[in-house]
Structure 1
Amino acid sequence: MVEPRARSLEVVRWIVLGALGLLFLMPYIWMVSASLKPLDEIFRASLNLIPEGGGTLANYAKVLAEVPVGQYLWNGAVVCGGILFFQLLFAVPAGYALAKLNFPARDWVFGAVMLGLLVPYHVPALPLYVGFSALGMLNTYAALILPSIISVFGIFLFRQFFKALPDELIHAARLDGMGELSVVWRVIMPNALPAATAFAIFSVVAHWNDLFWPLIVVSGPDRATPALGVLYFRTEEAGDDFGALMAASVIMTTPLVLAFLVAQRRFVEGIATTGLKG
């Protein structure tokens, strides 16, 4: 009797998870559906996810003809890649130090990191803008990258992950004559790939979709990120052509979807193994 009941519970669990997954995916499914419809079909009273006649690619053709899609995607890749590189460069050693090194006031430093999580992203925007303006760095990759190179969340995430690693691994590396930096990058980091992958997904998604800061420091399409590029298309080209706007949104978000599908196993592993031990 136990096995049939267990199977029934498993089936119910999968049905519930599938329904919840479909619910969360509905906005994206609707966006893809709308991108394949002509404008008159989008505003019909009846809601049909499947476009009539299998849909049309005219909206995508319009976007590719009128929008510098490649430039926006390249800008997004440069900005997100630069931010992620520096975030890992600072967060990994900082998380290691807070997790495995004994130094005075370590707990106070970690408390300050936790307080940093409470500071809204918008608070330093004005002084940062004034500083970049005084340096003549507005509308540059540097202005887009530098404010985000230190991630308080990244430091916390890696600290929690490193707390779970055995100390014997570090002691063995030190006995082999490695310095602390060598221990971090040659021993600790290879074991932290699941956490690094999870953090990379969070970081790239956040900055790829960020509109607040690029809208402040970018003044033209040359340095526009994907989210800002969609806004430019909405205000200058698309107007009320929501089919073309949805097509532009699908194109700009497709790299994120593909990246997550490629890294989903390590992402789930990183989430499952990070933050379980204080």
Structure 2
Amino acid sequence: MNRGSLKPVIFEHAVLSIGVVYSIFPFFWMIITSLRSSGDAFNSDSLLWPTKWDVVYNYTQALLTTPLPRFLANGVFVCGVILLLQIATALPCAYAIAKLSFRGRTFLTATVICCLAIPFQAVALPLFVGLAQLDLLNSYFALISPFAVSVFAILMLAQYLRGYPDEIIEAARLDGLSEKGILWRLILPASKPAIAAFAIFSVAAHWNDLYWPLIVVTEPDLAPPTLGVLFFRSEESGDQTGPLMAAATIVTLPLVVFFLAAQRRFVQGITMTGVK
């Protein structure tokens, strides 16, 4: 490699390194703060490394002061059910848009794209009023039902399925396989990379969601992880920074593990769907 071509490579790696440090530093500070005493959290002399360690107290408070394991279980249940419902509704719709010919398909696709442009906050109030009138607030149904259908999942899976060979589908129909059988026995197994990629987006979004749970849930037994972390706030004594960061670390860990487990499928799914 000559010197002229080496300079752009060094510049690119320098920019990437700065981006990595910028992205990782909040997590580094969160973990370090979870290991130090609350009074030492904003000490400028020990910003990057604690002078007073309080690991046992912080994590004990995080696990015992509030029912953090229950919050984590609620998060797993809510995110899991939402993901299953989204896949169950999105895959047939995506298959119909990508592989079936019917009147109004273009209009249906345009409608789905338009729905993607509507922010959730715009429909949050009507959803809240409807759930309140049906006396369904403070329930798992209130946390799950608004997200049972994902237009993003429909578009992502439809884009993926457009690359699936039509010849295989036609051969399956000639062999007498129904559309339901094609969907279950051919499309579902072939869509695993795209489903894994979407699962990362879905689980991360709903695991980290605070806006909707803060509106519809007031009972601690139903609180997801992000809402449960707020119990470490105290109006009288201020935030318990050490336990708060310990709880945030515990809440973040399942997402990291989930992403690492699905990383290969995620990259494959993103590459094949063309999502940038």
TM-score (norm 1): 0.91
State the partner residue of 1:46.
45
Secondary structure of the residue aligned to 1:80 is: helix
TM superposition shift of 1:187:
0.4
Deviation by residue 1:146-203 (Cα, 9 ceiling, x = unmatched): 1100001111100111111111121122222111121112101111111101100100
State the partner residue of 2:77.
78
Q: 1:187 to 1:15 in 2, by over 3 A?
A: farther
Q: What is the rounded CA distance, in whole Å, between the counterparts of 2:220 and 2:50 in structure 1?
A: 32
TM superposition shift of 1:97:
0.5
Deviation by residue 1:56-83 (Cα, 9 ceiling, x = unmatched): 3321111112010111011101110111
Deviation by residue 1:187-245 (Cα, 9 ceiling, x = unmatched): 01111111101100100111111111111111110100111101123248983221111
Alignment-mate amino acid for residue 212 of structure 2: W
State the partner residue of 2:180.
181
Q: 1:49 to 1:185 in 2, by over 3 A?
A: farther
Gaps spanning 5+ residues in structure 1: where? none
Gaps spanning 5+ residues in structure 2: where? none
TM-score (norm 2): 0.92
Secondary structure of the residue aligned to 2:138 is: coil
Q: What is the rounded CA distance, in whole Å, between the counterparts of 1:248 and 1:181 in structure 2?
A: 45
State the partner residue of 1:134.
133
Alignment-mate amino acid for residue 182 of structure 1: G
TM superposition shift of 1:14:
5.1
Q: What is the rounded CA distance, in whole Å, between the counterparts of 1:19 and 1:7 in structure 2?
A: 19
State the partner residue of 1:29.
28
Q: What is the rounded CA distance, in whole Å, between the counterparts of 2:53 and 2:263 in structure 1?
A: 30
Pairing 1:65–2:64 present = yes
Q: 1:238 to 1:22 in 2, by over 3 A?
A: farther
Q: What is the rounded CA distance, in whole Å, between the counterparts of 1:11 and 1:85 in structure 2?
A: 44
Q: What is the rounded CA distance, in whole Å, between the counterparts of 2:96 and 2:129 in structure 1?
A: 33
Q: May I ask how many residue pairs the two structures share in their alignment?
A: 276
TM superposition shift of 1:105:
1.4
State the partner residue of 1:224.
223
Q: What is the rounded CA distance, in whole Å, between the counterparts of 2:21 and 2:267 in structure 1?
A: 19
Q: What is the rounded CA distance, in whole Å, between the counterparts of 1:47 and 1:68 in structure 2?
A: 31
Deviation by residue 1:107-155 (Cα, 9 ceiling, x = unmatched): 1110000000111101221221122122221111111111100001111
Secondary structure of the residue aligned to 1:122 is: helix
Q: 1:100 to 1:63 in 2, by over 3 A?
A: same
Contact 2:82 2:144 in 1 (8 A): yes
- 1:143-162 superposed matches below 5 A: 143-162=142-161
Q: What is the rounded CA distance, in whole Å, between the counterparts of 2:184 and 2:94 in structure 1?
A: 12
Q: What is the rounded CA distance, in whole Å, between the counterparts of 2:255 and 2:216 in structure 1?
A: 23
Identity of aligned residues (%): 46
Alignment-mate amino acid for residue 137 of structure 1: L
CA RMSD of aligned residues (A): 2.3
Q: What is the rounded CA distance, in whole Å, between the counterparts of 1:9 and 1:184 in structure 2?
A: 48
- 1:226-241 superposed matches below 5 A: 226-235=225-234, 239-241=238-240
Q: What is the rounded CA distance, in whole Å, between the counterparts of 2:51 and 2:57 in structure 1?
A: 14
Secondary structure of the residue aligned to 2:121 is: coil
